[in-house]
Amino acid sequence: MFSFKKKEKSDEDLTVPKHIGIIMDGNGRWAKKRMQPRIFGHKAGMEALQAVTIAAKEMGVQVLTVYAFSTENWTRPEKEVSFIMNLPVEFYDRYVPELHRNNVKIQMIGDTKRLPKSTFEALEKAEELTRLNTGLILNFALNYGGRAEINQAVQKLAQDVLDAKVQPADITEEMIGDYLYTSSLPASLRDPDLVIRTSGELRLSNFLPWQTAYSELYFTDILWPDFDENALKDAIVEYNRRNRRFGGV
Ligand code: FPP
């Protein structure tokens, strides 16, 4: 069990979000503050992710979707892109064994077929190793873009209409959900209850636009490598202050 600093509700009363999305921002600025190259920040970011994943699992979070690389991130300097693309390889060797021991199941979403082969294979190996785990799902959004996700869903759905598998009038929101990348998650867990963005930026940057329609948004100035278990608890305490009405009263 964990204890919260702010005691408005006792620990037992707190609702833990089932699905948390995290926009892990601020690695570059964190490194710059330390006069280090940006890649130093990404390495520290991976360390933070490991700690936060295990903390989230202990709190009872069921899905953690982390924005690790967007379709827009390819415009970064080539050296930085190739460093980030190599992180999953290091992640598999250094971090996956501990996650596996913690019953964490690793999955990925995005246009992952277009990742470098070694990046894709490292994550595929992680998925395969942890496939039967029943604990928290750590869902990597890699080469992910929300509009691209909707675009590919519309293409597939249009094809199914052409093939007479679907009638346009029968299309429902639930059905659309089945064409999105997040269909790889259990149906009741596809939409984040809470989205956290670090480093003080106040936008969603093409992160899960369909799935975040009713998500609570939490922004913090903390730079991602400094985000830890206590910061996660603060976000959950704040989440508990919100009154989620889903359009009702
Ligand atoms: C944003 O910070 C961060 C990223 C684009 C990369 C995030 C990746 C990780 C934390 C590691 C993920 C781990 C695996 C295994 C893939 P930024 O570079 O935009 O920071 P800045 O806004 O300060 O420049």
Q: What structural domains and CATH numbers belong to the chain?
A: 19-145+192-241 (3.40.1180.10)
pLDDT higher than threshold 50 for residue 151:
yes
Q: Across residues 50-60, what is the average pLDDT?
A: 98
With the most atoms of ligand 1 within 8 angstroms of its CB, the residue from 84, 96, 115, 226 to mutate is 84
Tell me the two tokens of residue 75. 């415009």
- CA 221 to chain CA centroid, Å, is 19
**Which residue has 């006069």 as its token pair?**
35
Catalytic site positions: 25, 73
Average pLDDT, the chain: 95
pLDDT higher than threshold 80 for residue 1:
no
CA distances from 112 to 6, 69, 95, 181, 241 (A): 40, 10, 20, 10, 36
Tell me the two tokens of residue 216. 């609570």
Contact 5, 230 (CB under 8 A): yes
pLDDT at 93: 97
> 192 in ligand 1 pocket by Cβ < 6 Å?
no
pLDDT at 13: 84
For the whole model, what pTM was predicted?
Answer: 0.94
> 87 in ligand 1 pocket by Cβ < 6 Å?
yes
CA distance 110 to 140: 8
Q: Dihedrals φ, ψ of 101, to 5°?
A: -65, -25
Question: Which sign does the torsion angle of CA 69, 201, 191, 224 carry?
Answer: positive
pLDDT at 6: 45
* Binding-site annotation, residues for substrate: 26-30, 38, 42, 70-72, 74, 76, 197, 203-205
